Structure 1
């Protein structure tokens, strides 16, 4: 922990930073993070509502593969609708955005059965701190410093995804292998999605500069989706890690 703190402090204090934001960059970044915060608040509120009304219990009692398939199709469909809808069509854009939050909430609502409220609150607090710190680093770093990470992060994401699927294909007797794949999925996933926060924050600023130049349309709703998914994936892993620590 001490060694990691020294490395992190050196990284934050001695890194190369950028100059001041232009007005376009500042407003675009602020608007994007307002949508991130609003989307996550809506998702959390709907997830709690689904739990209190018994909807999450019915989800858990249903065929898990059917629930997974419907949730995946719904989330991907509404996400694609949000990303591809022209930003000038604000009503349809925000309808897809709201539907995406509802799909995410339905998928996440069973966590209220799996983890006590104190663990959920701690995981959320830690995630806010981690994502906030990484977003600050990404926003204040030199222009495009982390955009090169796209390829390596995608490769890491594939490894994490395959590790997450390992329990479905490996025999239960392969305990050591399953323990390794679980560690890769959890801790490797934290590293990968933390890297995506840096990457996506700088991507927002790059798109802000393109929008200022008139080369693309301003679309903070679209930009917020990737950062929101980063947050949710980090939160889920924080939740699992804290849950494992409590059981020990």
Structure 2
């Protein structure tokens, strides 16, 4: 009997242990599989939550961050401009600038620069007159204030087309086809910016005075700085222009009441103001260099109309952004 019990123990107990071990392995495998499935679901859910959170952050109500950064950048740029004006204006630079060579310029160089800035002043006058005329015409004003993509595209095409036409015609002194195309281009720009008159006379007058101060100060910096100090920033300016242009397009589709829309609007407003101020430095020195180095008896004469268009468009962009800021455009999230 005892031997039979031992035999049963020898035959049954190992089998029981084996089955128990197998049951434990199966249970552990099920537990591992269950945990793995739970981890996979949690990982997928967390990733989905992160994607949702990113979208929610982009479309969340706008805060003060974007506009605070934009204002800070503008203050920093203004301080840098004033510092450069004092530094170069006091003659602290070791290199000579255009203002140091002005006394040695031949008469034709002086006449070229004079003609360029006369056309620049005429462009501002024609643009202002065109804007006022369009603003006083209900039909034209209704056409310019349409927010349809067709109207916006037509306005952009008209500005670009008239600008290309003006710059493609050879320059001849006096009144000719070149001058007619120039007046047409400035009139088109004035018509496009006419809706800014809704801001009111006091704001526009203040913006005009501020713009005159900015343009005058930056032009003085460019004239006092070494001749090619700002001619090396053409590449960064082109990149910055692409960024501001993309931000301007994006702000057309995203309202500034959202976080992403406010960021794009801040780049377009404050970044654009800094960008076109830098463009003014670049274009001013480019005009001086072209006036000095263009051969006096070249087959194609120096073109003051084309030279003035660059600083004219810089000034228009600066004026629009200053007027928008004065009108409270930096707080459009409200």
What's the TM-score, normalizing by structure 2? 0.67
Secondary structure in 2 aligned to 1:155?
helix
Residue 106 in 1 paired to residue 191 in 2? Answer: yes
Separation in structure 2 between the aligned mates of residue 57 and residue 108 of structure 1, nearest angstrom: 10
Secondary structure in 1 aligned to 2:190?
helix
Residue 119 in 1 paired to residue 203 in 2? Answer: yes
Unaligned regions of 5+ residues in structure 2, if any? 1-74
Superimposed CA distance per residue, residues 123-181 of structure 1 (whole angstroms, 9 cap, x where no aligned partner): 111111101111122123222221111111111111111111222344x5972222222
Number of the residue aligned with 1:149: 233
Number of the residue aligned with 2:318: 234
The worse-fitting range, judged by mean Cα deviation, of 55-64 and 99-108 is: 55-64
* TM-aligned CA deviation for residue 234 of structure 1: 0.5
Number of the residue aligned with 2:149: 65
Number of the residue aligned with 1:207: 290
Q: Rg: which structure is higher?
A: 2
Map 1:150-189 to 2 at 5 A. 150-170=234-254, 172=255, 175-189=258-272
> Which runs of at least 4 in structure 1 moved beyond 6 Å after TM superposition?
245-248
* TM-aligned CA deviation for residue 61 of structure 1: 5.6
Task: Name the count of aligned residue pairs.
Answer: 246
The worse-fitting range, judged by mean Cα deviation, of 77-86 and 223-232 is: 77-86
Number of the residue aligned with 1:80: 164
Residue 4 in 1 paired to residue 89 in 2? Answer: no
The worse-fitting range, judged by mean Cα deviation, of 48-57 and 33-42 is: 48-57
CA contact (8 A) 1:56 1:110 kept: no
Number of the residue aligned with 1:20: 101
* TM-aligned CA deviation for residue 10 of structure 1: 3.8
Separation in structure 2 between the aligned mates of residue 199 and residue 60 of structure 1, nearest angstrom: 32
Q: 1:36 aligns with which of 120, 136, 145?
A: 120
The worse-fitting range, judged by mean Cα deviation, of 211-220 and 160-169 is: 211-220
Unaligned regions of 5+ residues in structure 1, if any? none
Number of the residue aligned with 1:53: 137
Separation in structure 2 between the aligned mates of residue 205 and residue 214 of structure 1, nearest angstrom: 18
